Chains A and B, each alone.
Chain A
């Protein structure tokens, strides 16, 4: 028994159901998980998204989850991913990176924009399985390791870029991609680059001001 096997944190409270026996046994966390998997009582994380059980998902024809190791914001994250799962769904509902927004889920608004190998992409219109070998950057990964805001983020604050803020993560990701490939864009080049991000509040001019300021600052 290693140190990790001894109990050092409270067990989750489970008063009923197939898991309660295992919980009551006061098994170690590792043994607990092994037992749960062995008993087949594990709820597929896709059950949350589908609103049904793992068996129902498999019965729809090949909804089998696969364990992937994704490179997200410089970290390797292990996650179970369905074949038909979009990157936006994986980021938001399995990796808890909810900074990436779902505005339309149809590739028509840009709120879900992330970077794939530094290229701006609608995460709602990409299957996670299509990008499993690539470097994914989300809004959560744009600030520095010590928490310093990226010039684009700082410029958005200084220039009052966002109004409601919902389109902002997408706008920032697009702006970051722009400045990585073209550090000194003209306002028209910035306008063209951001033409794949809608803003229902109409703060487009503010966003352009922010991008131009960020280009100056960086």
Chain B
């Protein structure tokens, strides 16, 4: 019966951000920041991670809500739920790619409690890592997925470096495409980090997926007005149309003038440990007509340098086709 419950912990429920940061700083490695819980409870129920002090952030109403900012942008509190983002008219009208991405996360009930911050800061979903084995990401000295027999169909095409897990988030590539910035509060104060720099790969720190360190709290995501109302494309391919993490997803923001692509930002998820900014594609298509030929060329250029593992070769033509669609069908 005892396996049915998470290991015991003390639950702290601060009602101010300052209080939350104090508590997280106080408890250090024994603490854990909890939002919706859709990532955390999996760890706790399997008893792989057993923090003694869990700091519940869901009472911090100052971190919820979507508000307009200067220059046509918006700021989204990190504790805003994915459902709220999906249905928000500001987001839908100006930054539809994010609404579409939020809509594709997991299942409706998970979106109802899952937060944007949680979706961005979520941990890798490599099943070996989640099982609790002593791999590099867990502080050990091996990688089970990147091995001859390892079941790595969901793992990366680029950036393998002692870890081949991928960025599982759907909102992350959308926010990279929108040139968003992340606002982080920590013991040293507040800092703002561009989306592309927010996510880190194993070559920087194999034990973290983002720049957030113990004691930091992601408080908001700011989206500039630069891409408001642009031509957007989002597609997520997964084993099922619900629940499953992406096998590959793509997000792009494109401005088309006179039939030509004048500027574009595009990112793919689940092909690397971070959302992969497709700079080569952007360079190839900028100034070109939005056409079948351009789309084909874009697809071909997107997969350069991809290195398949034993079971994820399918991701290469999959990414190629998604990029083609993102240019042609947007």
Report A's interface with B, CB cutoff 8 A: 48-52, 57, 60-64, 82-86, 89, 105-108, 110, 113, 119-122, 124-127, 129-130, 174, 192-193, 195-196
Contact = CB atoms under 8 A, between A and B. Distances in A.
Given A62-B8, A84-B44, A105-B45, A126 B107 contact: no
Interface of B: 1-2, 4-11, 13, 34, 36-38, 41-42, 44-45, 52-54, 56, 58, 83, 106-110, 112-113, 241-243
B111 to A, nearest CB: 8
Listed residue (B13, B42, B113, B243) with the most chain A CB atoms within 10 angstroms of its CB: B113
Determine the main DSSP class of A at the interface with B. mixed
A120 B34 CA distance: 20
B16 to A, nearest CB: 17
Given A62-B10, A83-B54, 10 more contacts: A49-B5, A62-B52, A84-B7, A84-B11, A86-B5, A107-B38, A125-B36, A125-B38, A127-B11, A129-B11
Contacts of A110: 107, 109
B1 A106 contact: no
B2 A52 contact: yes
B45 to A, nearest CB: 6
Given A121-B113, A126-B37, A195 B7 contact: no
B8 A61 contact: yes
B58 to A, nearest CB: 6
A130 B177 CA distance: 34
Contacts of A130: 37, 56, 58
A113 B243 CA distance: 15
Nearest to A194: B108
Nearest to B108: A196
Contact of A49 (B4, B54, B58): B4
A106 B8 contact: no
Nearest to B244: A108
B4 A195 contact: no
A49 B1 contact: yes
B1 A51 contact: yes
Contacts of B8: 57, 60-63, 82-84
Contacts of A52: 2
Contacts of B6: 84, 86
Identify which of B2, B7, B56, B108 gathers the most chain A CB atoms within 10 Å of its CB.
B108
A195 B4 CA distance: 26
16 contacts: A60-B7, A61-B10, A83-B10, A84-B7, A86-B6, A106-B41, A106-B42, A107-B38, A113-B109, A119-B83, A121-B112, A121-B113, A126-B113, A130-B58, A195-B242, A196-B109
